[in-house]
Amino acid sequence: MKRAEIVFSTREEYGLTRLTEKINSELKKMGAKEGVCNLFSPHATGVIVILEDEPGLRRDFLRKARELFPPGAGYEHDRIDDNAHSHLMSTFLGESKTIPVQNNRLDLGTWQNVFWLETDGPRHERRVIISYWE
């Protein structure tokens, strides 16, 4: 197994950051040829999603996720930290993705991209762990 991390910041409380190019760059540095890549968020309030990079679809996704996990909906955790919706979104939508690798790149479909869904920002430092196996 080979391992790398990408580190980035987010500017919004709630939004999407495209990571595909950064991940592919790390895979190339690793010399990844053909195998499997796992992407993992070591944060309790961040989500890794695969989505088409089309503005309307990104807005639709953000609206629907917010509908499913609205802030201030009487969650018990909000008594502590006021971000229960962020934790729930991360848990239900997923902290990791496993994607095939071909020729130093994620083997995504034509329109697919990897995004970070920030649910509790802005944050100065977010990390995604990249694990690769041939």
Cis peptide before 122 (omega within 30 of 0): yes
The percent of residues above 90 in pLDDT, for the chain, comes to 100
pLDDT class for 11, splitting at 50, 70, 90? very high
Please report the pLDDT score of residue 6 as a whole number. Answer: 98
Question: What is the residue type of 38?
Answer: N
Q: How far, CA to CA in Å, does 82 sit from each of 2, 9, 34, 44, 109?
A: 37, 21, 43, 14, 37
Q: What is the CATH number of domain 2-133?
A: 2.60.120.460
Residues 33-59, mean pLDDT to the nearest whole number = 97
Residues 100-111, mean pLDDT to the nearest whole number = 97
pTM: 0.95
Please report the pLDDT score of residue 96 as a whole number. Answer: 97
Residues 106-111, mean pLDDT to the nearest whole number = 97
For residue 10, which phi and psi values (nearest 5 degrees)? Answer: -120, 150
Please report the pLDDT score of residue 55 as a whole number. Answer: 98
Please report the pLDDT score of residue 71 as a whole number. Answer: 95
Other beta carbons within 10 angstroms of residue 128's beta carbon come to 25
Question: What is the residue type of 106?
Answer: L
Contact 95, 41 (CB under 8 A): yes
- What average pLDDT does the structure give for the chain? 97
Please report the pLDDT score of residue 44 as a whole number. Answer: 96
In the chain, domain spans: 2-133
Please report the pLDDT score of residue 25 as a whole number. Answer: 98
* Model confidence pLDDT, tens digit, residues 113-125: 999 999 999 999 9
Residues in Cβ contact with 91 at an 8 Å cutoff, skipping those fewer than 6 apart: none
